[in-house]
Amino acid sequence: MNNNTFLYRVGLNPENFINRDIEPIKTDEGLLYLVEERKDIRICPYCNNNLKNEIKKYYYTNINVSSNSNMKEILQIKRVQYICKNCNKTFTNGLKGINGHNTISEFIKNQIIHDFRQKLSFKQISEKYHISIGMTIKLFDEQVTVTPTGHLPKVLCIDEYHFETNKDSKYICILIDYETRTVFDIIQSRQKAYLEEYFNRFNSKELERVKYFCSDLYDEYASIKRKYFPKAIHIADKFHVIKQMTTIVNMLRTRVMNKVVEYKSKEYNFMKKNWKLFLKRQEDIPNKTYYHQSSGIETSYGDLVFNCVKLNEHFSKAYNVLQDLYKYSDKTTYTEATEFIRFIYERLRLSTLDELVKVGNTFYKWRHEIANSFARNATGYNISNGIAENMNNHIATIIKIAYGYSNYERFKKRVLLICKYNKNWI
């Protein structure tokens, strides 16, 4: 292999080395490349003498130039130490691309720093570059800074994610700028004290920038909204509204499966295997048939969902309410949306099943915010559809990647780096 090509690839300047072809040596660890530093540059940095400087000794430096988890690559440099005959001092020449006593080249270091923006865990990055996790984290802590956030966004979405930062805080809050689809900031806990401490830092003019406040149905958000964003429109995230119902439908499906139908009957097997179909919009159920082996009977998916749901009054009610929720139209006015949500919660509150009444009460309590999310005219925005399903999944993935970060500040910095400064994070 040509020396120059290789050196350029790992970010070193070939001018510092004796030009000759290099063949990598296979070792137990990976590949070893041997290069030799040039010996004809002998200007003493102390007295500028370049005449009688002599070679004092040779020594070897190993530089890790791996950038592929499959193969460790080590560059071994035969280095020269000179002694100045004029001032009697010893010196070495610096190598462009290698900083001080670092064991990785600057080029590789920059690649690693770049990878901190990618959806790669610290462990994956360590493996890719064949360095220890400790070193990866040290690089992250020392080399990466995340600048403070700018202005509060016009459409502020707040959502929590499971992440234990300490004993009494199991959820962190992620603030999203809806319009730019970026993570605005992260708050350590969704508890009142933390939320207030966070929003207290903004002056009233800054807080007034927020025209729409979008959240799930968590009570603390309602009081935060009232206290800090009194003039903004509060929108209940549609995804979370629907999730209230899908959770109940799923619970009732399990209940019917285990208590109402016969074990291993057609309905039992179908409900167990195709649980997702019960949470879908009716029109999205695939046009397929289900074959029950022991009876030899074939039934369409649609019919089977219908038959199963019919088995229990509460299951049937929950399923129908969910289907009605799916039927909302984005073109509805605020009044129509209010009527629509009333139609939903009234039915739930009339139920004899506590769980359904409870959801009905939640919907009642949040009726205005839910109506805001269903009514297009009230907001001009069609908030929460996209954010919910798409961004939530991505953030959840990033949190999983970040999970090993015992240190919350480090975790926060990493999440912000991935979600704020990597335009392609979604």
List of residues contacting Zn ion (CB under 5 A): 44, 46-47, 49, 84, 86-87
Q: What's the number of CA atoms in the CB half-sphere (13 Å) around residue 217?
A: 23
Q: Is the dihedral of CA 347, 353, 356, 359 positive or negative?
A: positive
CB of 61 to Zn ion, least distance (A): 23
User: CA nearest 269: which of 245, 293, 238?
Assistant: 293
Residue 90 in tokens: 């010893």
Dihedrals phi, psi of 159, to nearest 5 degrees: -150, 150
Q: Which is nearer to Zn ion, 44 or 256 (CB)?
A: 44
Q: Which is nearer to Zn ion, 44 or 156 (CB)?
A: 44
Dihedrals phi, psi of 240, to nearest 5 degrees: -75, -30
Q: Which is nearer to Zn ion, 47 or 426 (CB)?
A: 47
User: CA nearest 164: which of 407, 394, 413, 397?
Assistant: 407
Q: Which is nearer to Zn ion, 40 or 284 (CB)?
A: 40
CB of 51 to Zn ion, least distance (A): 10
CB of 64 to Zn ion, least distance (A): 33
Q: Which is nearer to Zn ion, 3 or 49 (CB)?
A: 49
CB of 39 to Zn ion, least distance (A): 17
Q: Which is nearer to Zn ion, 85 or 151 (CB)?
A: 85
Q: Across-strand partners of 169?
A: 166
CB of 18 to Zn ion, least distance (A): 24
Q: Which is nearer to Zn ion, 49 or 300 (CB)?
A: 49
Q: Which is nearer to Zn ion, 47 or 71 (CB)?
A: 47
CB of 43 to Zn ion, least distance (A): 9
Q: Which is nearer to Zn ion, 46 or 403 (CB)?
A: 46
Q: Which is nearer to Zn ion, 49 or 265 (CB)?
A: 49
